[in-house]
Amino acid sequence: MEVSTLLVGWGWTYKQLQSGWQEIETLGYDACYVGDDMFIHHREQADRPPSDADEAVFETWTILAAMAATTAKMRIGSLVSPCGRRHPVLFAKMTTMVDIISGGRLSLGMGAGNSPDQFRSMGLPFGTATERTKMLGEELEIIRRLWTEDRTSFQGEYFHVQEAVNSPKPVQKPYPEIHIAFRNPKFLPKIAARFANRVNLMGGDDSGIEKAKQALQKQCEVQGRDYESIKKGRLASILFVEDEVEPQDRRQVIRQRAIEIGIDADELIEEHERYVVSYIGPPSECAEALLKRTVALGINELVLCIDTFGVNSYDRTMAGLRRFAEHVMPSLLSL
């Protein structure tokens, strides 16, 4: 079982981010991922301008280069970069450089994109799910070929590449790990079966995870891919309190935590109920609860955040990650 974290860091300073990822490595987490956002966004504001425009959000791939240079062991990567944000030839060069700086620890996380406001802010079209899936497939094909070929030409519906060169090549052979995240079992399992070494199944509840796994397994059978060779991860929000929480009290506990960290209570409730593995309770019961929703379902990697996948302070985030590493992680890493 791998235990990783998604370092959101919205509103943090650069020094806090660097201190955070270096401590995350020291604490023994297997990987530290960074989201790929231009600004803070909220699910209920997906079609409106950003409301937190004054909050710092650092550019992902310059941050990953800095992380690569200041860590030594853990995997690093995006979770996830949306297709179409960077031209794939440029993106192949960027990702190659991060893999070289890190000594071969890059995990390239990609998805079809879920934030139309960020596309619109750059003057880019936010196509249909089908269109974005096709674009992602073309982008990954170009990047993978540039990682391995001397010269790459490609004529697709969305991208056209003529005699492109990427030198030097990545450290990892035959190429860096490709990590694809998806929630809807209709669109990305085919792409994941073709390209992914690792997936993050964002199906929300356990039934959604099973549907995503079944769709991926079916596509692996169609394409002759070994389903078991693809590592499978889930997201988790960990909300530590001192005592066990009864089901009927969960929402009130979440509301109280939302007040403490200064975010919208309804959004935090929705996150814990719909989007992630949610644990609310004391550290002593956490490992057992998480195992039921990971290892028991064929999940190899837990990717966690403390309290929320949104805005959270440096001090609260790091205190929670320390507590998790001390009291919960040993039981998970032993599997």
Q: What is the pLDDT of residue 51?
A: 54
Q: What are phi and psi of 198, to 5 degrees?
A: -150, 145
Q: What is the pLDDT of residue 328?
A: 97
Q: What is the pLDDT of residue 281?
A: 97
The CA-atom distances, in angstroms, between 299 and each of 9, 32, 155, 248, 283 are 26, 18, 37, 28, 21
Q: If the chain, 335 residues long, is cut into consecutive pieces of 10 residues, what is the mean pLDDT of each piece?
A: 96 97 98 94 55 82 98 98 96 98 98 89 91 97 98 98 98 98 90 98 85 96 97 97 96 97 93 92 96 94 96 97 97 82
Q: What is the pLDDT of residue 308?
A: 95
pTM recorded for the entire structure: 0.95
Largest CA distance in the chain: 62
* Peptide bond connecting 311 to the previous residue in cis, omega within 30 degrees of 0: no
Domain ranges of the chain: 35-229
Q: Is the dihedral of CA 212, 215, 221, 222 positive or negative?
A: negative
Helix ranges, 34-152 (H): 60-69, 88-102, 116-121, 129-148
Instruction: For residues 168 and 285, give the distance between their C-alpha atoms in angstroms, rounded to a whole number.
Output: 48
Q: What is the pLDDT of residue 261?
A: 94
Instruction: For residues 49 and 64, give the distance between their C-alpha atoms in angstroms, rounded to a whole number.
Output: 27
Fold of 35-229: TIM Barrel (3.20.20)
